[in-house]
Structures are given as structure tokens and as C-alpha cells.
């Protein structure tokens, strides 16, 4: 950030609200989640609705009429790509609306609000400006935190163990076992191994598995093809000689940690004040018990980044600074009739509790929620075989509109999250597979904002106390 920025933040921590009479406060809001969780749509819709504010009744400052203006401004960080809000909104509001391109790397957008303060100071003070720096980054990159306290041998053993029951996994394991890792290093072998390994990660992800480390193998950005992304797990080797394949793989793994993972946590993650973690829970539930179990484990791992006490690397980096609020949100809730939303929220709560039970998020406020950043369906109740059926209606690719019943979520979230009971039922087995809805055409009249489900509640939880 700029010097002024650093100063503002420094003074704020020391003197609390007093500084706000002198400086414009900044809230850094992190938005993360695995690929396709809904980050891009969430940020685009959040910003559009904040700029427009017609559909944000649960945002208290809005209802109280205290948000006077909202506008986009140049962000403070000159070297981070800007979140391409205009292009993404353009996709959603085109004549034939389509979903925007997904998050591939870190990006940032500054939204500024001019707000009339509440309470006693309101009379003494004019409106003040609050900056919200939204930072979008792939959840896959957070998972890399798990690498920081591992060496190459133990990471390899972990990953080879996990690949065993995944599509394409056994194929890679066979290849890795067949490799003479003590032989002199050759770039072409390293490349073939890393390509095969990357293929297995893609296959695993397509099959609904979440934990596919290293995170940059799936989302390499500008590092694609560099040595630091050209390695793969190999079975342990005692006494691999210098300049062998194994030793070079080990060296690259260490370089990945120090030159990719560490800078991300230092430059981006460590500066976040508020965080939303988006989760495509419905997608995992539909993909089946293995994917749910994997999601459970992965979420625990992702959330461990917010309990720095557990990780020596991170606690050293953060030096006591913590994320103050964490929202854990199931996205795409518009696939379900609202009568099922409490069940989805209960599943998110159970997922979060499961992660929290192992260590507390000391001091951070947490909440679980189900939401749709952009509502693509309408609800209906149909008579079906003599009973009422709650369905949602949306537009499929090609423009056909149809009503669907995606199936029931379990009433007891533990049935879903307990590995021993996951075989019991076929949740969301029905129509869910084909429910790839297109966004509905938006006719944004001033003050309208895109339609959503609980985006205003999310904003209230994440920002409301500071407005």
C-alpha cells in the first residue's frame, strides 16, 4: 500500500476510532473460495448492489439512509491487477446475459462510501469516507499454507496417498513409482511428471475433489511453465545423490514454498481485515459422498489459515494481526426453493463447527449463511402426484425455461458430514445435474440492483459494524 495507507492503518490500530476523524478508514475485504465457488459473481453483484443500493434492506446503514454516495476509485496497490468489474457486469447485463469469466489470480477493487455516522458523534461530524478494498483470490492458494510446514518427502507421501482413490490418480502413482528418481535430473522427465500430475489434479477437481495442491498447478497465472511449477510428488528415496531427479524436485518444491506461497501470504493474505469464504456446497453434495468428505477436509484446511496459532510460519507473519470477521457462505442457493435454505445453512454451520472444533478462531466473529449473489431462478409450488412440490424455474443454456426439483437435502447435516453415514442417501440426486441456469436478463432501473438472495445480510455481517 501507499505510505498514507500504512499510516492510516497504523494509527487506527493504536487509537481506535479517534483516528477516523483525521483519516479515511480502510476495510480490506478478502473474497475467496475454490474455483467455480462463485467469487467473481459475488464481487460483481456486491459492488453493483452497493453502488445502486435498491435491494439491500438488511444493510442497516442503507435502511437508515446513512450511505450518501458509493463510488469506485483507483485502488491503493499499483501492482495488483484490478478486478474487472465493468467487463463482468457487462456479461451479466448483456442482451443475452452470460456468466463472467472466473477468478484466475489475485485482483483488487476499491469501493468507497460516503457515510453519515450514527449516534452522538453524528451531530459533531459531517459525513466521512470509508474505503472498502475488495481482494479476490483463489482458495486453492490458501491450501498451500499446508505445504509450509512440510518438506518434499512428507508432502509427496501425503499426495500419493490421496491420489490412490481419485480418477487418474492410480495412473500417476504408477508413473511416479516407475521413475528412477536417483538418476541424473533431466528437464524433460520433470516436465512429463509434472504434466501428468497436473492432469490428475484437473481430473480430481472435475470429479468434485477440492484438495488439489499445489494450488498454482491448477491456476498458474504468469508462472505457467516456470521451474517452480515443474515438479511432482515422488515416492521417498533414501540417499538420492546430488543432481538427481529427486533432489531437483525437492529443490523446486522448496522454491515454490519460498517464492510463491510465502509472498502471497505476506503481501495479500496478511493484510485482510474481513473475509468471506464461498463454498459450492451444493455441487459437492451432488457429486457424492467422496466429494463431500473431501470438501469437509478441505474447508477445515482452508479455515486453518484463519487460526494462525496453529501454524508457525503464519503466526510469525501476522504478528498478532487477525481477521476480525469470517463469513462462510454456501453459494448458488437459488438452485433450491427457500424452504430448503435452512438445511443448506445448517450444513455450512456443521462444516464450520467441524473446522472450529479443532482450534478456535480466537477473537474472530464467524457466521455461516446460504446465499445467491445473482438469483437466476424463480420459485413455484407445483402439484405432483397429489402432493405439493417446491420447485425453482430457470433458463437453461439455449434459452429453454424449465422448472426443477433438485431433490432434498438431509434434515440432519451430520448425516451428510459423517463419513460413516454418507452412503445412506442420494442427496440432490435428481435434476440437479442439469440445472446449469443462465443468468436472467436484468433490467436495471436506477435503484434496482441485480436480484440476489441474502447478499445484503452478507454485507451487513462483513461491513455493517464499520459503517
Q: Check binding of 208 to ligand GDP (CB under 6 A).
A: no
Question: Could you tell me which of 134, 136, 137 has the C-alpha nearest to residue 70?
Answer: 134
Q: Check binding of 416 to ligand GDP (CB under 6 A).
A: no
- What is the chain's alpha carbon radius of gyration, rounded to the nearest angstrom? 23
**Min CB(345)–ligand GDP separation in Å:** 15
**Residue 124 is inside which H or E element, if any?**
helix 121-124
Which of 329, 374, 409, 459 is close enough to bind ligand GDP by CB under 6 A?
Answer: 374
Question: Could you tell me which of 2, 25, 91 has the C-alpha nearest to residue 374?
Answer: 91
Q: Is the Cβ of residue 39 or residue 55 nearer to ligand GDP in the bound state? A: 39
Q: Is the Cβ of residue 144 or residue 334 nearer to ligand GDP in the bound state? A: 334
Which of 373, 462, 463, 467 is close enough to bind ligand GDP by CB under 6 A?
Answer: 373
Q: Check binding of 406 to ligand GDP (CB under 6 A).
A: no
Binding-residue pattern over the window 124 to 163 for ligand GDP, x denoting contact by CB under 6 A: ----------------------------------------
DSSP strand E in 226-324: where? Answer: 274-279
Q: Decide the pairing of beta strands 274-279 and 26-33.
A: parallel
Q: Is the Cβ of residue 43 or residue 352 nearer to ligand GDP in the bound state? A: 43
In the Cβ-directed half-sphere of 144, how many Cα atoms lie within 13 Å?
26
Q: Is the Cβ of residue 103 or residue 460 nearer to ligand GDP in the bound state? A: 103
* C-alpha span between 33 and 36 (Å, rounded): 8
**Residue 157 is inside which H or E element, if any?**
helix 152-163
Q: The cell 462444516 sits on which residue? A: 351
Q: Is the Cβ of residue 175 or residue 207 nearer to ligand GDP in the bound state? A: 207
Residue 290 grid cell = 467422496
* C-alpha span between 142 and 154 (Å, rounded): 19
**Residue 255 is inside which H or E element, if any?**
helix 245-256
CA angle 368, 373, 375 (to 5 degrees): 120
**Min CB(315)–ligand GDP separation in Å:** 28
Q: Which are the contacts of 15, defined by CB distance < 8 A and separation ≥ 6? A: none
**Min CB(170)–ligand GDP separation in Å:** 28
Q: Which of residues 42-61 bind ligand GDP (CB under 6 A)?
A: none
DSSP category for residue 219? S
Which of 372, 392, 416, 459 is close enough to bind ligand GDP by CB under 6 A?
Answer: 372
Query: Which range in 32-40, 52-60, 75-83, 153-161 contacts ligand GDP by CB under 6 A?
Result: 32-40
* C-alpha span between 410 and 310 (Å, rounded): 33
Total chain residues near ligand GDP (CB under 6 A):
19
Q: Check binding of 210 to ligand GDP (CB under 6 A).
A: no
CB atoms within 10 A of CB 1: 16
Binding-residue pattern over the window 297 to 336 for ligand GDP, x denoting contact by CB under 6 A: ----------------------------------xx-x--
**Min CB(465)–ligand GDP separation in Å:** 25
**Residue 364 is inside which H or E element, if any?**
none
Angle at which helix 187-206 crosses helix 245-256, to 10 degrees, equals: 50
Query: Which range in 50-58, 198-206, 373-381, 409-417 contacts ligand GDP by CB under 6 A?
Result: 373-381
Q: Check binding of 30 to ligand GDP (CB under 6 A).
A: no
Is residue 275 a contact partner of residue 325, using CB atoms and an 8 Å limit? Answer: yes
Q: Is the Cβ of residue 5 or residue 84 nearer to ligand GDP in the bound state? A: 84
Which of 19, 25, 28, 38 is close enough to bind ligand GDP by CB under 6 A?
Answer: 38
Which of 111, 376, 392, 409 is close enough to bind ligand GDP by CB under 6 A?
Answer: 376
Which of 30, 33, 97, 449 is close enough to bind ligand GDP by CB under 6 A?
Answer: 33
**Min CB(291)–ligand GDP separation in Å:** 16
Q: Which of residues 58-117 bind ligand GDP (CB under 6 A)?
A: 99, 102-103
**Min CB(104)–ligand GDP separation in Å:** 8
Q: Check binding of 8 to ligand GDP (CB under 6 A).
A: no
**Min CB(46)–ligand GDP separation in Å:** 11
Q: Is the Cβ of residue 44 or residue 460 nearer to ligand GDP in the bound state? A: 44
* C-alpha span between 428 and 282 (Å, rounded): 8
Q: Is the Cβ of residue 67 or residue 329 nearer to ligand GDP in the bound state? A: 329
Q: With the CA atoms of 190, 253, 298 and 100 taken in that order, what torsion angle do they form, in degrees rounded to the nearest 10? A: -70
DSSP strand E in 91-249: where? Answer: 107-115, 128-136
In the Cβ-directed half-sphere of 113, how many Cα atoms lie within 13 Å?
25
Residues that bind ligand GDP (CB under 6 A): 33, 35-41, 99, 102-103, 331-332, 334, 372-374, 376, 437
Amino acid at each position: 500500500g501507499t505510505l498514507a495507507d500504512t499510516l492510516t492503518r497504523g494509527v487506527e490500530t493504536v487509537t481506535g476510532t479517534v483516528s477516523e476523524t483525521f483519516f479515511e478508514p480502510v476495510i480490506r475485504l478478502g473474497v475467496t473460495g475454490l474455483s467455480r465457488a462463485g467469487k467473481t459473481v459475488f464481487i460483481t453483484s456486491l459492488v453493483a448492489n452497493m453502488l445502486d443500493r435498491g435491494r439491500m434492506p438488511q444493510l442497516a446503514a442503507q435502511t437508515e439512509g446513512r450511505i450518501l454516495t458509493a463510488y469506485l476509485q483507483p485502488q491503493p496497490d499499483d501492482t495488483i491487477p484490478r478486478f474487472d468489474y465493468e467487463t463482468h457486469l457487462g456479461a451479466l447485463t448483456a442482451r443475452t446475459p452470460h456468466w463472467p469469466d472466473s477468478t484466475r489470480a489475485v485482483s483488487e477493487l476499491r469501493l468507497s462510501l460516503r457515510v453519515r455516522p450514527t449516534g452522538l458523534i453524528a451531530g459533531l461530524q459531517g459525513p466521512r469516507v470509508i474505503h472498502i478494498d475488495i481482494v479476490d483470490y483463489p482458495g486453492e492458494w490458501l491450501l498451500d499454507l499446508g505445504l509450509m510446514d512440510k518438506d518434499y518427502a512428507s508432502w509427496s507421501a501425503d499426495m500419493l496417498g490421496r491420489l490412490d482413490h481419485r480418477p487418474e490418480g492410480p495412473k500417476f502413482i504408477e508413473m511416479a513409482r516407475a521413475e528412477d528418481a536417483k538418476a541424473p535430473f533431466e528437464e524433460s522427465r520433470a516436465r512429463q511428471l509434472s504434466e501428468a500430475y497436473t492432469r490428475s489434479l484437473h481430473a480430481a477437481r472435475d470429479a468434485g475433489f477440492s484438495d488439489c495442491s499445489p494450488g498454482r498447478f491448477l491456476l498458474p497465472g504468469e508462472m505457467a511453465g516456470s521451474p517452480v511449477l515443474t515438479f511432482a510428488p515422488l515416492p521417498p528415496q533414501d540417499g538420492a545423490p546430488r543432481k538427481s531427479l529427486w533432489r531437483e524436485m525437492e529443490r523446486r518444491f522448496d522454491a515454490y514454498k519460498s517464492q510463491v506461497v510465502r509472498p502471497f501470504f505476506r503481501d495479500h493474505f496478511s493484510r485482510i481485515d474481513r473475509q468471506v469464504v464461498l463454498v459450492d456446497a451444493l455441487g459437492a453434495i451432488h457429486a457424492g459422498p467422496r466429494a463431500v468428505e473431501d470438501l469437509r477436509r478441505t474447508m477445515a484446511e482452508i479455515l486453518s489459515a484463519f487460526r494462525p496459532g496453529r501454524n508457525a510460519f503464519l503466526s510469525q507473519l501476522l504478528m498478532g494481526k487477525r481477521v476480525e470477521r469470517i463469513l462462510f457462505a454456501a453459494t448458488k442457493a437459488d438452485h433450491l426453493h427457500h424452504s430448503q435454505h435452512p438445511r443448506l445453512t445448517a450444513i455450512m454451520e456443521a462444516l464450520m463447527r467441524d473446522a472450529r472444533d479443532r482450534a478456535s478462531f480466537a477473537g474472530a466473529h464467524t457466521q455461516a449463511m446460504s446465499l445467491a449473489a445473482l438469483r437466476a431462478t424463480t420459485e413455484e409450488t407445483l402439484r405432483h402426484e397429489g402432493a405439493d412440490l417446491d420447485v425453482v424455474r430457470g433458463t437453461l443454456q439455449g434459452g429453454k425455461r424449465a422448472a426443477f426439483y433438485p431433490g432434498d437435502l438431509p434434515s440432519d447435516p451430520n448425516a451428510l458430514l459423517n463419513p460413516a453415514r454418507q452412503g445412506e442417501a442420494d442427496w440432490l440426486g435428481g435434476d440437479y445435474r442439469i440445472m446449469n441456469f443462465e443468468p436472467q436478463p436484468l433490467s436495471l432501473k436506477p435503484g434496482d440492483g441485480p436480484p440476489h438472495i441474502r447478499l445484503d445480510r452478507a454485507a451487513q455481517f462483513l461491513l455493517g459494524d464499520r459503517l
